[in-house]
Amino acid sequence: MAKAEGRIFGYESPEKIRTDFLETFNFDSPGQYIKTETSEFIAACPFSGLPDVGRLIIEYYPEGGKCIELKSLKYYVVSFRTVGLFQEGVTKRIYSDLKEALGTNRLKVTTIYNTRGGFATTCIEGAL
């Protein structure tokens, strides 16, 4: 048996996610399709505390007259690094936070996690 078998690394609760980092700017083009993504997304597995690494894709139409400011989005995304959440819950949380910040119903959040335990997982919340 591996010496690390059964070990759990510590992780933070979802209250540590920094929604206060999210900033928007006014943008008057509700029909423009906006897509931004990063391959540097990390959250913690709530079973082991090990990192869940993957791609985060955010797509939206700024119907609420706002765009997300990218540096603030990066800081918000980094705040997930030590938070223990299931992959599906992460996707839903990001969707909810961005929907509130942007004031749009045309929002889609996709997370594509690196293969772990033989499974590659993609989670999608929302629709355009």
Domain containing 89 — which CATH number?
3.30.1130.10
Whole-angstrom distance, CA of residue 32 vs CA of residue 71: 20
Has residue 31 been placed in a domain?
Answer: yes
Has residue 111 been placed in a domain?
Answer: yes
Whole-angstrom distance, CA of residue 77 vs CA of residue 18: 8
Has residue 88 been placed in a domain?
Answer: yes
For the chain, the residue count is 128
Contact yes or no for 40/113 (Cβ under 8 A):
no
Q: What percentage of the chain carries pLDDT values higher than 90? A: 91
Which residues are the active-site residues?
Answer: 45, 52
Whole-angstrom distance, CA of residue 121 vs CA of residue 114: 7
Residue 54's domain comprises 23-127
Has residue 10 been placed in a domain?
Answer: no
Whole-angstrom distance, CA of residue 34 vs CA of residue 102: 12
Has residue 118 been placed in a domain?
Answer: yes
Has residue 14 been placed in a domain?
Answer: no
- Helix, strand, coil percentages in the chain from 3-state DSSP, rounded to 5: 25, 40, 40
The reply to whether the predicted model has a pTM over 0.85 is yes
Give the type of residue at 5.
E
Has residue 4 been placed in a domain?
Answer: no
Has residue 56 been placed in a domain?
Answer: yes
pLDDT over threshold 70, residue 64: yes
Q: Count how many domains the chain has.
A: 1
Least confident of 3-7, 43-47, 57-61, 117-121: 3-7
Contact yes or no for 24/68 (Cβ under 8 A):
yes
